[in-house]
Amino acid sequence: MRPAAFDLSGRTALVTGANTGIGQAIAVALAEAGAGVVALGRSGMDETAELVASHGAPFRAVSADLATLEPVARVMAEAAELSGRVDILVNNAGIIRRADALDFTEADWDAVMDVNLKSAFFLSQAAARAMLADNAGGKIINIASLLSFQGGIRVASYTAAKSGLAGLTRLLACEWAAKGINVNAIAPGYVATNNTQALREDPNRNAAILGRIPAGAWGQPADIGGAAVFLASRAADYVHGITLPVDGGWLAR
């Protein structure tokens, strides 16, 4: 039996970038806690559909490219078809571009800001409007980064976007907390996904990163699921505007 405060039965979660990595793991964790899942992305969702179904949770895939705002209204409408409303939005979709700041291009700046920050804001706006329409509130969870707290190197637009996302999380919490919407973020540490493949394949960077993580290991996508369930649940009803690190102790160092 699930602890009542963490039980998501009857809720519907819209998770962006849910075909792989952290987004997929969050979708599965929310399903395991009882939520129906709307998996949004630009790639096939078959694997996620199977994993969610293994927990007996309702599932729907919505195809959309969040590089522009064009799909936002359609996505919210299609997501609402699963159960009538979206109770939980997880803004997870994200990309990273690496280059020295001196060489960083406008294209790499815009691409990252558009997916990681602009789409997250306008999806949150659309979700909040719908959540407020029936006064039932909701939960919005943004997937931030250690680079919401730190500078990093060679990832100028990513650091700007993830630092912006932490700020946006605080702003939206301030505007919507009293209206029954909890807006919070999770800052994953170094997690083994496509996003970090280049780092793991570089022996020097890999060793340097591993050597600095107190837990002594890369995070796995499933490590992020519990924090998402918590922030999506009634257990987090009085939690607003935080960016919760799940980082193997990285920030403690």
Task: By CB under 6 A, tell whether 69 contacts ligand NAP.
Answer: no
Dist CA 235 CA 82 (whole Å):
24
CB of 4 to ligand NAP, least distance (A): 29
Instruction: Tell me how crowded residue 127 is: count the other CB atoms within 10 A of its CB.
Output: 26
Task: By CB under 6 A, tell whether 63 contacts ligand NAP.
Answer: no
Binds ligand NAP (CB under 6 A): choice among 136, 194, 208, 249? 194
Task: By CB under 6 A, tell whether 225 contacts ligand NAP.
Answer: no
Touching ligand NAP, residues 195-224 (CB under 6 A): 195-196
Q: Binding pattern to ligand NAP, positions 91-120, x when CB under 6 A?
A: -xxxx-------------------x-----
Strand partners for 188: 246
Q: Binding pattern to ligand NAP, positions 161-190, x when CB under 6 A?
A: ---------------------------x-x
Task: By CB under 6 A, tell whether 156 contacts ligand NAP.
Answer: no
Dist CA 107 CA 209 (whole Å):
28
How many residues form the binding site for ligand NAP (CB under 6 A)?
26
Any catalytic annotation for residue 158? yes
Query: 59, 149, 158, 230: which one is catalytic?
Result: 158
Binds ligand NAP (CB under 6 A): choice among 193, 223, 227, 229? 193
CB of 162 to ligand NAP, least distance (A): 7
Instruction: Tell me how crowded residue 143 is: count the other CB atoms within 10 A of its CB.
Output: 26
Of the candidates 130, 230, 145, 224, the one whose C-alpha atom is nearest the C-alpha of residue 181 is 130
Residues with Cβ within 8 Å of 44's Cβ and at least 6 positions away in sequence, in order, are 19
Q: Give SS3 for 216.
A: coil
Query: Measured between alpha carbons, how far is residue 242 from residues 71, 108, 168, 170, 227 in Å?
Result: 28, 28, 11, 7, 12
**Local structure of residue 213 (DSSP, 8 states):** -
Where do contacts with ligand NAP occur on this chain (CB under 6 A)?
17, 19-23, 41-43, 65-67, 92-95, 115, 143, 145, 188, 190-191, 193-196
Enzyme catalytic residues: 158
